[in-house]
Amino acid sequence: MAINTTISEVPIRERRLKALTGYSGSVKDLAARTSPGCSITNRERSFSQTSSCSSGCAQTLLSGILDAAVVNHAPVGCLGDSLYQNIAHHYGQFHRGWAYSNVNMVSTNMGESDTVFGGADRLRDGIREAYRRFSPKAIFVTTSCASGIIGDDVQGIIDELKGEIPIPVVPVHCEGFRTKVWATGFDAAFHAILGSIVKPPQRKNPERINIINFRGSARVYITELFGRIGLKPVFVVPFATVAELEGMSEAAATLTICGTLGSYLGTALEEKYGVPYVKSSPPHGSVGMDSWLTGLGRAVGKELEIEQLIRTEKQAVQGELAQIRARLSGITAVLGMGPGFSLSYLRVLDELGIKVLYGASWHYDQQYDHGAQPAITTEMALRDEDIPFSIGEQQNYEIANLLNELKPDLYFSRHPGSSVWAAKQGIVTVPVMDEYTAFGYHGLVNFGWRIVDALANRRFVTNLSRRVRLPYQDWWFEQNPYHFLAEEEAA
Ligand code: SF4
């Protein structure tokens, strides 16, 4: 077994999955050099812009659990991300037609003296306050650089409160300084859930399919689609209850909307409880959806039913897809996204007839937790055409340089911090914020029309670029975008 859920901290992705944050080359080169038996080393940067933190990813998942609460043992600034988490929570509520409510989070608000004398009292108070305020079924205590560096005994304090707080209180080790790969925070959250919330199966449920996702905007469609073949999706982790998480071990299979997100949880459920994890490429676009559904069919023994489902769904969009391709033919694009989406969206854009000039990924896992190269990498490397590709933890200065050089018609980004700058450079920008954008056959068509619409109105970005002064000097635009990326060291 590769995953050990009994240890206190999940090993970071750089060690566990040989994750890279510095690379410049191409899709085929990356695929070849990260294949079994080959080697590649990370290229460090001598200059780096602000990036994200793994606690944000952990809290994005945990704050969405409907009847749980999060105590962030940190200075209050570390909870700045909660603004985004609250907006994302409202987004999920909007899609369910629910009244808006805020996420259940508190900060222990560590100050200077706590970093000298320890923050134990603040943590005790924070846990008590979260229990009093939210009456949750579980509390997750997320750590930070400050509580990690001074070595507060989080587990010890939780143990002290056992008689007083009669629910699971679970430490989540997601200090930002441990890793450059913010997706390690997903693993930290899942590690906590696997170790303290998920229960051994009472009975197997042959209908239940775990779907690892974020806010689940496509859940009505998926529920209807799976219902046609006798399956019932349960969407985790945000918008699930603690009881739903306890029962993940009883499912017939686990699917994920994104391999980067689901690798740890899916693999652990398979290894520990025998729940098959579908290791297909992500369900973006038509080809991705074929792979996702076929993998599901194989996992639950419903290959024929799935084949029929694919045929029906695909047929329904062929006419519109042809129209969109005609409209987008000759359009060029650059994209920058997390690794679960970047390679997959190269294929989505290809399906829409868009020529991708360059792809950037915010990190890259050389292998997933099940031990193999991501399926999408292997598949993309088999295509005739190679695509220039880089890896960097959302270094916007590199992307700005690239866009200035390549001048594409479109920039696609899965992080708004990056899309804003492209728009200021006068490039039509399509942010891919919802994880179900371009989901399957119908999602591909909807996404295609959204791009057609975006291209029809270039005036906004043109005006914006005329009025905004970028923070870069001409000197930077004359350099290679990867000027600050060191040469690769010998393995
Ligand atoms: S945990 Fe560390 S990296 Fe993350 S927000 Fe707090 S100080 Fe910054």
31 token code pair: 């695929």
In a mutational test of the pocket of ligand 1, which residue from 83, 107, 110, 144 has the highest number of ligand atoms less than 8 Å from its CB? 144
Distance 141 CA to ligand 1 centre (A): 15
**Residue 292: half-sphere exposure toward Cβ, Cα within 13 Å:** 24
Going along the chain from its start, the domains and CATH numbers come out as 52-179 (3.40.50.1980), 208-301 (3.40.50.1980), 318-478 (3.40.50.1980)
Distance 452 CA to ligand 1 centre (A): 39
What per-residue confidence (pLDDT) applies to 488? 86
Say yes or no: CB of residue 78 within 6 Å of ligand 1.
yes
In whole angstroms, give the CA distance from residue 373 to residue 378.
Answer: 7
Residues 6+ apart with CB under 8 A from 456: none
At 226 the three-state DSSP class reads: helix
State which H helix or E strand residue 334 sits in: strand 332-337
Q: Whose C-alpha lies nearest to ligand 1, atom 1?
A: 144
What per-residue confidence (pLDDT) applies to 81? 86
Say yes or no: CB of residue 115 within 6 Å of ligand 1.
no
Q: Alpha carbon of 403 to those of 308, 336, 475: distances in Å?
A: 43, 11, 15
Closest CA to 412 of 344, 324, 327, 333: 333
What per-residue confidence (pLDDT) applies to 418? 85
What per-residue confidence (pLDDT) applies to 51? 85
Contact indicator for 19, 34 with CB cutoff of 8 Å: no
In whole angstroms, give the CA distance from residue 190 to residue 237.
Answer: 9
Say yes or no: CB of residue 176 within 6 Å of ligand 1.
yes
In whole angstroms, give the CA distance from residue 372 to residue 378.
Answer: 10
Residues 6+ apart with CB under 8 A from 151: none
Say yes or no: CB of residue 74 within 6 Å of ligand 1.
yes
pLDDT tens, the chain, 491 aa long: 589 999 999 999 999 999 999 999 999 999 999 998 888 999 999 999 988 899 999 999 999 999 999 999 999 999 998 998 999 999 999 999 999 999 999 999 999 999 999 999 999 999 999 999 999 999 999 999 999 999 999 999 999 999 999 999 999 999 999 999 999 999 999 999 999 999 999 999 999 999 999 999 999 999 999 999 999 999 999 999 999 999 999 999 999 999 999 999 999 999 999 999 999 999 999 999 999 999 999 999 999 999 999 999 999 999 999 999 999 999 999 999 999 999 999 999 999 999 999 999 999 999 999 999 999 999 999 999 999 999 999 999 999 999 999 999 999 999 878 899 999 999 999 999 999 999 999 999 999 999 999 999 999 999 999 999 999 999 999 999 999 999 987 76
In whole angstroms, give the CA distance from residue 369 to residue 372.
Answer: 8
Contact indicator for 335, 284 with CB cutoff of 8 Å: no
Q: Indicate yes or no: pTM above 0.85.
A: yes
